[in-house]
Amino acid sequence: MSLRFDQPKKCWFEPLSERELEVLKLLRSELERSEIAHELHSVSEHRAYHTQNIYAKLGVNNRRAAVRRAEELDLL
């Protein structure tokens, strides 16, 4: 099997939605969870929902790991 460099790269994780990227940028900040929810103009449960989706898609289980993985993947 030969590799072809003109083939598009396949993404090994499910792409993040625009909202999830917005949440991820806020996770990178020093804001507390309640402040992130306020910035998103949503309730804390929505923030938690998006955060859990981000963790699952990036294969991590905490805020720092999510930010680190996102930076490695040039998502931030």
At residue 11, the pLDDT reads 56
Q: How much is the mean pLDDT over the chain? A: 83
DSSP secondary structure string for all residues of 5-73: TTSPPPPSSPPPPHHHHHHHHHHHSS--HHHHHHHTTS-HHHHHHHHHHHHHHHT-SSHHHHHHHHHHT
At residue 20, the pLDDT reads 93
Low-confidence ranges of the chain (pLDDT < 70): 1-13
> Can you say whether the dihedral through the CA atoms of 36, 28, 61, 54 is positive or negative?
positive
